[in-house]
Structure 1
């Protein structure tokens, strides 16, 4: 039970300090080095860049598709119990979720190769991801009980949740193939701090008319909660919490479970002013084999409660009817723990976009050999305006989750660029975002915020996010 409490606590903390999976403002914002992290095939003109450690890339987000704080606690004259029943218990479906991720860069840098076609990037970032779906039948059973629900099968498969914290070590190559095409790939090594998941539960609980007693209760289940990395954390919390920072740090740097993944991306110019891009991120896994503890319930049982035979029951005062019932259920439903290793796949993400550019042009920043540029038919021209659309898809326990974004990009010379977005997804149909990139000499600063209309009343918001970063960029000597 203590282990389950740790999983629940870490999930809640993860959802309280989380970052946007969909970084639609940052995507293809080519002035910002961190945009390479969501498309390794982005068109770049940097000679080299260096992120300020722990400040080069920070992003946070929180999202709830079903219920907001305001839905329950607004002073609207509706009784709180009515709100809980109508808006939460019966108002949400099993596809409603609370989810998010946080990401903090510890190290990030990149440099151009000698042949100038290749750009290399590398770094380390810490990431956490958590998601939980609304367990509707559990909530109904807890709120109303089963007295008036005879014959109804409560689906135990409504419980679906997963979460993790890990460090990611990465190295990427970005290559200009010709004047139209740029491709990229990134290799990743994952160092897991902890992981938990319970996503493939099946079974039901049902109450029917009994034979020996008034009611009979049947429980059929095939359930599992898998976890790694939580036992040592639990022991530290119980015995010596001062050990916790050391445990987490050790696991962040190859002292825990390891995994491997790749990112792929491209940019293709249909013509001088129209560009399409795409990327596939975190196609990878983590193999959990150390500090593993899994909880299982698999089997079925039918119990008719406490059977009391009168007057014989009074002749044996040592009978503990309640304990007998508990022992009977415990024996009928096989449950236990194991330390079996398992593989957990990362939440893979897909991006795609099309952009049309127009207006005033700005030549490339990077140092160039003009003869080389002409012979290769390179075109690094940037336009003052860009407009287009983006698609985002992420793999989730209940299937793919998508978002569509329309955007407008405006450049004011080389010093300032703005990108505004309008995104439609399961969290909001009115998500307006704004990103600002400022280039002050070699110093690059960017700030981005999402769902700006929700800032009028954060308690009534289904979604909010924030990103910022600080880099040093060089384009070489002119």
Structure 2
């Protein structure tokens, strides 16, 4: 049995087009309001801020842990089929990942309450997240077939993927408990646009020498693909109503869910700060526009059996269809519209930061008057150095990244943060973030894996973030 190479290439590049999602440069970058989106307990000194709609937060990350575009398409004089075989088919394994996210803020603002220790945030953003693991045994079967691989079981659990797109509404509270501790909580309402997941597949496919035919093939499968919203989007494409369909679902017309973000900042001493956050602890209940597919059962087939001369007596017999019917009878492929719950990919951040050098004046109002708090944001230092931890829950277990960083402040008008990150995508990921403050206008931009920008096609990871905000410290 041999699958067409074109079919394999479609499957390969469909998975390769997925995207990865650590915002290590933005995390604890307190000069930027969006840092509160990945730690609701950030220690902030703003009186209020407002993001410019659609421009306040744009981020995109894309990564592959096992292969780059250049590995396949480099002009090195080698045949592309040979490179696919060596670098993809047998060069990657089932734990190699193609994953990522994008996010666009539609609205984001925050303000300090009558009690200056309380800071409130709210807004909404569009987010898409997807991950696909390399389907190693499927790729071998599709590219080489099974004729030369007798008695080798192909593992059906190698198919593991999930993805989603949604609009997220959020409202949060950041509270300065005392001069050492700031805590934060954010509630979220998810309005799903579409979802798909196939993460709990089991089974094998194996070919052996047959008894009644040359070969016998046995499949034992327990597989499921769950989808929500995709069928309706397909109809919308045919009808030319994609925009209105997405808008309706983004504003409570689709499947809904809830979640929460938690975070804190703790001042161990005047110069040492510990932070942490837990994001997207939540789920979406999918009950509308559901279409699920299952393959469950076991069968052994020895191919088409033709008995002569009896077969010649019925010239209209469709022996291939009889074989297909037999396979479907033993291993039924079924569809259903059962509701399901999809949990969000929960993320954990943590950091330890040491501040040193000269002080940078705090831009917030002084803590004066009878009702003023003595627990406002501390003065910043010119330099900060430290380490960060990032963990995200993924279908094959937690995925982790470690980051070291250095931040330099130039008065109150500019701050630069550099990072060095080690994760499964790269051991040499150097990132850079810049925040500029021109009066009330805040502009920020950041990018990862800068050493690869000379040849992006040879990179396993790339990301960028940028935004525009209006900030007030309430000074008169």
- TM-score tier, shorter chain, comes to over 0.9
Q: State the shift of 1:135 in Å.
A: 0.3
Question: Cα 1:15–1:109, aligned 2, differ >3 Å: closer, same or farther?
Answer: farther
1:74 and 1:378 map into 2 onto residues whose CA distance is 55
Indicate whether 1:382 and 2:380 are aligned. yes
8 Å CA contact 2:384, 2:408 repeated in 1: yes
Which residue in the other structure is 2:428 paired with? Answer: 430
The separation in 1 between residues aligned to 2:373 and 2:325, in whole angstroms, is 82
**Matches of 1:379 and 1:163 in 2, distance apart?**
39
Task: Report matched runs for 1:313-324 at 5 Å.
Answer: 313-324=311-322
Give how far 1:379 is off: 5.7
The count of residues paired between Structure 1 and Structure 2 equals 467
SS of the residue 1:376 aligns to? coil
The DSSP-based 3-state class of the residue aligned with 1:140 is helix
Say yes or no: does 1:304 pair with 2:302.
yes
Aligned residue number for residue 4 of structure 2 = none
| Structure 2 residue matching 1:327: 3-state secondary structure | helix
> Aligned equivalents of 1:13 and 1:104: distance in 2?
23
Tell me the CA shift for residue 371 of structure 1.
6.1
Q: Sort the Cα spacing of 1:323 and 1:448 in 2 relative to 1 into closer, same or farther, 3 A.
A: same
Q: Which whole-Å deviations, capped at 9, do the CAs of 1:244-286 have from their partners, x for residues lacking one?
A: 1111000000000000000000000110000010000000000
Match of 1:207 in 2: 207
Contact 2:191 2:254 in 1 (8 A): yes
Instruction: Note the C-alpha offset of 1:362.
Output: 1.5
Residue 23 of structure 2: aligned partner: 23
C-alpha contact 1:160 1:397 (8 A) present in aligned 2? yes
Between 1:24-33 and 1:362-371, the stretch displaced more is 362-371
Decide whether the 8 Å contact of 2:264 with 2:276 is kept in 1: yes
Are the aligned partners of 2:215 and 2:302 in contact in 1 as well (CA < 8 Å)? yes
> In 1, distance between residues paired with 2:370 and 2:420?
40
Give the Å deviation of 1:444.
0.3
The alignment status of 1:119 with 2:119, answered yes or no, reads yes
Cα offset, 1:464, TM superposition: 0.3
| 1:448 maps onto 2:446 in alignment | yes
Structure 1 residue 13 displacement after superposition:
9.7
Report if the CA contact (8 A) 2:116-2:372 is conserved.
no
- The change in CA–CA distance for 1:30 and 1:428 in structure 2 (over 3 A counts) is same
Could you say which residue in structure 1 is the equivalent of 2:216? Answer: 216
CA drift at 1:315: 3.3
Q: Is the 8 A contact 1:197 1:225 kept in 2?
A: yes
TM-score normalised over the length of structure 1: 0.95
Q: What corresponds to 2:96 in structure 1? A: 96
**Residue 146 of structure 2 corresponds to which residue in structure 1?**
146
Q: Which whole-Å deviations, capped at 9, do the CAs of 1:405-448 have from their partners, x for residues lacking one? A: 00000000000000000000000011000000000000000000
Deviations along 1:105-164, one digit per CA (max 9) or x if unpaired, are: 000000001110000000000000011010000000011111111111111110001000
d(CA) in 1 for partners of 2:389, 2:372:
34
Between stretches 465-474 and 309-318, larger displacement belongs to: 309-318
Distance in 2 (CA, whole Å) between partners of 1:285 and 1:196 is 14
Does structure 2 conserve the Cα–Cα contact (< 8 Å) formed by 1:14 and 1:100?
Answer: no
Q: Which residue number corresponds to residue 53 of structure 1?
A: 53
Tell me which of 226, 247, 256 is aligned to 1:249. Answer: 247
> Does residue 1:325 correspond to 2:323, yes or no?
yes
3-state DSSP of counterpart to 1:469 = strand
Q: Which runs of 5+ in 1 are unaligned?
A: none
Q: 1:133 aligns to what? A: 133
Q: By how many angstroms is 1:477 displaced?
A: 2.1
Secondary structure of the 1:23 match is coil
Deviation, structure 1 residue 327: 1.5
Equivalent of 1:357 in 355, 358, 363: 355
Give how far 1:51 is off.
0.3
**RMSD between aligned residues:** 1.8
CA distance in 1 between counterparts of 2:314 and 2:332 reads 30
**Shift in Å at residue 61 of structure 1?**
1.2
**Structure 1 CA distance for aligned equivalents of residues 424 and 131 of structure 2:** 14
